[in-house]
Amino acid sequence: MDVLQKLEILADAAKYDASCASSGTESRNSLKNQGIGSTSPGMGICHSYTPDGRCISLLKILLTNFCLYECAYCVNRTSSNVPRARFSIDEVVNLTMEFYKRNYIEGLFLSSGIIKSADYTMEQVVAVARKLRLEHRFGGYIHLKTIPEASPELLAEAGLYADRLSINVELPSETSLKRLAPEKNAQSIVRSMANLSSGIEEYKESKKLARKKANKKLIAPKFSPSGQSTQMIVGADTSNDAIILRKASQLYQSFKMKRVYYSAFSPIPDASSELPLKSPPLVREHRLYQADWLLRFYGYGIDELTDVTNDSPSPGMLSLDVDPKLAWAIRHRDAFPVDLNRADFETILRVPGIGVINARRLVAQRKVAALRYQDLSKLRLPIEKLKYFVTTIDHHPKPTQLDAANFSSLFIAQKSQQMNLFE
């Protein structure tokens, strides 16, 4: 089998993993060592987009899609009837270098099916990164998917070369993991995440200390400067959004995750009989990302975002019709309208349609002159949504509108057309 065929199979096998965005890492360039590659603390660059709207920033491939595990949601599980292939270490190294030199990618995202043993597989993955860094002086981004059962020494070496390490938590509950990924082990996942977390922390601390004492020698050996991330499969078990978000919050807190990725399991060739028949609507995944963002940067609580009303038709779920922030505002109409000229920053931040940047702008601008309705459109804020929730010196929404029983239908009607596109 030639490299082209392998690439076709092993890219196809990798496409369901969502956690592939290259993100900020250390600032690095190749001026000193005359190599190839640079990274920055800002976001990685999207070099292309596929017609599914996803950004391509990394060469995302599997080293091999042979796998001895039987994870029901995965296209590469042992019982799946897909063509198999295996790259040699050099093949992956060359593809990465050649793609990078043509400015196709920011770097490599390498993961692998599990062959022979966890350590054997991990050793191969690490070997690719080692060769790229040491032999080819590659300075681009490297993300390695780590195998939780692999030995800590291997994880430590992976941290030396990778910008980011990740371990997929896969499912929000231990029971689901046992049922749908019977070879995986919740304990080793947690243990390895904790290992990564402390390695990352140690490295960070040593850099801080080195800066304080102005002594570069104090910097510990590199360890995954861009932190760790994880992925959770959505819709393969019956966990509701509140359970998923709670698990995510816990991961953010315990292991200082950079990101938790949510992946609605998608139709795959040759699906397992263990999976539910229907894949979840993609809009659910989208809402989880929105809620995740609100939890981390807007100070919302999980119970504020998910449906906790008694005898709700969908307990613990986020609304599919409207985004979680709007849904919260609709449930808390008594808190509106908000006077944009008086309210504090946190209150303004809770207005649907106003994000962090615009909330800051509004607060800065009203110091110069009182805010008027037209200032909002000049800031290109979504007036149609906003107008019910705010007052300015020349705009006061009719209270009857907010109180109307059919208030929420105002938004759902607007949205329903778009929604069909997602489903």
Partner 1 sequence: MYSFSVTDFDGWRTIARTLLQANVAPSNVSWQPPEQQGLFSPSSLEAIIDPAKPVSSSGTHTIPREFLQRAKQAACFSDIKDSARKWSILYSLLWRIVNDGKETLLLTSDPEVRYLDSMCKAVSRDKHKMKAFVRFQQVVNHDVEVVSPESAEGNAEYYVAWFEPSHAIIESVAPFFVKRFTGMSWSILTPGGCAHWDTAQLTLSEGVVKPDIDTDAFDIFWKAYYRNIFNPARLKEQAMRSEMPKKYWQYLPEATCIKNLTRGAAAITAQMIDAPATNSNRARDKSQAVAQFQDTLRLNNRIDQTTGTSTDKPR
Buried b (16+ CB within 10 A) or exposed e, 172-200: beeebbeebbeebbbeebbebbebbbebb
Residues from 147 through 186 that contact partner 1 (CB under 8 A):
174, 178, 182-186
Q: Which is nearer to ligand SF4, 169 or 376 (CB)?
A: 169
274: nearest Cα among 360, 177, 209: 177
Query: Which one-letter amino acid corresponds to residue 232?
Result: M
Q: Find which of ligand SF4, partner 1, none residue 76 binds, CB within 5 to 8 Å per kind.
A: ligand SF4
Q: Which is nearer to partner 1, 98 or 403 (CB)?
A: 98
Q: For 301, which DSSP code?
A: -
Minimum distance from CB of 19 to partner 1 (Å)?
14
**Token pair for residue 375?**
């200032």
Minimum distance from CB of 60 to ligand SF4 (Å)?
13
Residues from 61 through 100 that contact ligand SF4 (CB under 6 A):
67, 69, 71, 74, 76-77
**Is residue 115 within 8 Å of 121, Cβ to Cβ?**
yes
Piece of 13-21, 254-262, 335-343, 408-416 that binds partner 1 (CB under 8 A) = 13-21
Minimum distance from CB of 283 to ligand SF4 (Å)?
24
Site string for partner 1, 367-386 (x = CB under 8 A): xxx----xx--xx-------
How many angstroms separate the CA atoms of 241 and 235, rounded? Answer: 10
How many angstroms separate the CA atoms of 95 and 155, rounded? Answer: 24
Q: Which is nearer to partner 1, 188 or 347 (CB)?
A: 188
Is 193 near ligand SF4 (CB under 6 A)?
Answer: no
Using CB under 8 A, pick the residue from 63, 92, 95, 283 that binds partner 1.
Answer: 95
Is 79 near partner 1 (CB under 8 A)?
Answer: yes
263: nearest Cα among 290, 235, 291: 235
Bridge partners for 307 per DSSP: none
Minimum distance from CB of 227 to partner 1 (Å)?
22
Query: Which one-letter amino acid corresponds to residue 21?
Result: A
How many angstroms separate the CA atoms of 144 and 294, rounded? Answer: 28
